[in-house]
Chains A and B, each alone.
Chain A
Amino acid sequence: MIRTLVFMVLLTCTLGSCVVVKEYEKVAINDPDMLLSEQLCDRNLTTMHSYREAAAGANGGKTGGGCGCN
């Protein structure tokens, strides 16, 4: 019974995530602050992080190469 309940919850979440938002419903989604990337003005900040930190990648910034940084 519990397994079934968990399965239904997961299934509902999955199906819910596949909701189709129409173009005319995307007013909030199209807000500039909802962009799924760093803002352009933060590019130099991201570059600084790649110079000073070991981690790189998965954020649209430098991943390696282009300069003598790690």
Chain B
Amino acid sequence: MEEKLAAVVGVIKLLNICHAQYALKAKRNYSIPNNKPSFLFMTKTKINIALLFFLTSFQVFSQEQVDTSQDYKKRVLETVEVNILSSYYSQDGDNAAVTGGKGTEELTDATGTIIVSIPLNDDDVLTIDAGVSAYTSASSSNVGPFDGNNAADPFVASSGASSADTWANFTVSYSHSSDDRNQIWSTNLSISAEYDYFSVGFGGAYSRLFNEKNTELSVHGSAYLDTWNAIYPIELRPFEPTGNGLSNGLFLDNTITGNTNYNPKFIPFENENRNSYTLGLGFSQILHKKVQGSLSLDFIQQQGLLSTPFQRVYFADVADSFIENFQLADAVEQLPDSRFKVAIGGRLNWFLNERFVLRTFYRYYSDNWGITSHTANFELPIKLSDKFTIYPSYRFYHQTAADYFRPFEVAVSTENFYSSDYDLSEYVANQLGLGISYTDIFTKAHIWKFGLKRIDLKFYKYDRDTAFTSSIITAGFNFEVY
């Protein structure tokens, strides 16, 4: 670099010498007034100024070509990090899908997850994510409501085996960053299992940062190859091809009231596979020293058994049959074996000042089942001190009904597709949240080799404009391992 500068300075000096020689010759041949600047002097000045600009621009471009091979490369992850997440969720309502859109939706769920991120070297990180979710549900207990204890009723939980289940998940991810940290590749593999469902998933992602890491473009894809172990409502099982219908012990031990000629429309699902494919694009941009935003676009294709086998449907054109207070199913929900979803979302975060940050999110969703939805979320982290922050939030959600949604006992037996799952109905939901976090970047508190970096505790209340209501409390603990 210094050699190049010296060369340019030398050229300037040489040019000045040549110019001086020329000026001397010119002065001998021309008469130049003393009080006016010589045009030769002006020309010389212009030449020097031009060369000065050239030298300056030369320096700028030269900086782009500085050898960076000896520059410091920060590790992507300095040390092993452990995150422990847990939550307790509860809900209730009056439109249980298991009982055809009328019945208790009472459910509680406890989830625990551990996420371990391990730096393999300066550029690579291995992440292991394992979680268990255990639920108990009065709603799902009514898959088999005739337990002989209380009178079967859609608003009363039974003690059947379907009243509880456990879902377990294991995911391993690997990511690699380029030396300049402008490119990130990642891949993942996951396995999930519960009593009536098994899933294998895999995916990958690529991110590219530009513009001094002010701009990021990303693409990700995933596939889930899942299989149901279909469980049907207990009163339909005798009507499978190998069943004995009304001669089954269920109907001999219990008395059918109403329409005693019970004959449901029931054919077990032949294909119990469900595959889901996702392609996503992402763009993020720093807009200002205190503002950044992002856009996300996801395309999702699902194929296979998209109905839930134990969700009942009652037909308006079929007489009702009962055992005790429980209406026997006329059919199970029938949904198309294909679904295409599109979701586009945007985030805008604004660092208002040292105390307030505004986080916003909006999403528009549409699918080929006729559902469109709008989601808007606002969160306002408020720093009470350098360690404590509170998180008030509000979320609005609206969706239209699926084309195949039928309220309780509105579907007719001549239709091909129908569902009384009120999660596919039209509704508006409002959610309020409040959380608090404790952050200690120096991890003064530690348990053995685990330094506590952050604790999060949040509570959310979610209410639809129907009888459905839910709440969730979540906790997160972030540790660094020495």
Contacts and interface: CB of A to CB of B under 8 A. Distances in A.
B450 interface: no
Contacts of A41: 85, 435, 456-458, 474-476
B199 interface: yes
Interface string A30-70: 01111111011111110011011111111110011111101
Interface residues of B, number: 89
B472 A48 contact: yes
Nearest to B167: A67
A49 to B, nearest CB: 8
Contact of B456 (A39, A60, A67): A39
B268 interface: no
A26 interface: yes
B136 interface: no
B224 A65 contact: yes
Interface in B205-233: 211-214, 222-224, 226, 228
A68 B458 contact: no
- How many chain A residues sit at the interface, stated as a range, is 35 or more
A17 B285 contact: yes
Contacts of B472: 44-45, 48
B394 interface: no
Interface string B380-407: 0100000001000000010100100000
A3 interface: no
A48 to B, nearest CB: 6
Contact of A68 (B196, B223, B288, B347): B196
A36 B349 contact: yes
Interface stretch (B27-35, B249-257, B297-305): B297-305
A20 interface: yes
A25 B298 CA distance: 32
Nearest to A70: B423
A65 B288 contact: no
A33 B365 contact: no
A9 to B, nearest CB: 16
Contacts of A51: 423
B222 A55 contact: no
A31 B474 CA distance: 22
B212 A64 contact: no
A28 B349 CA distance: 11
A16 B285 CA distance: 12
Interface in B424-482: 424, 429, 435, 439, 456-458, 460, 462, 468, 470, 472, 474-476, 478
Given A40-B476, A48-B89, A63-B298, A57 B280 contact: yes
A65 B201 contact: yes
Nearest to A37: B347
A36 B456 contact: no
Given A41-B457, A70-B424, 16 more contacts: A33-B349, A34-B351, A40-B476, A41-B458, A41-B475, A44-B472, A52-B468, A54-B367, A54-B369, A55-B343, A59-B345, A64-B278, A65-B222, A65-B275, A66-B169, A67-B167
Interface of A: 16-23, 25-26, 28-29, 31-37, 39-45, 48-49, 51-60, 63-68, 70
Q: What are the 7 A-B residue pairs with the smallest beta carbon separation, nearest first?
A: A65-B224, A58-B345, A41-B476, A65-B276, A57-B343, A57-B298, A55-B365
10 contacts: A26-B289, A41-B457, A45-B460, A45-B474, A52-B462, A55-B399, A64-B302, A66-B201, A66-B224, A67-B199
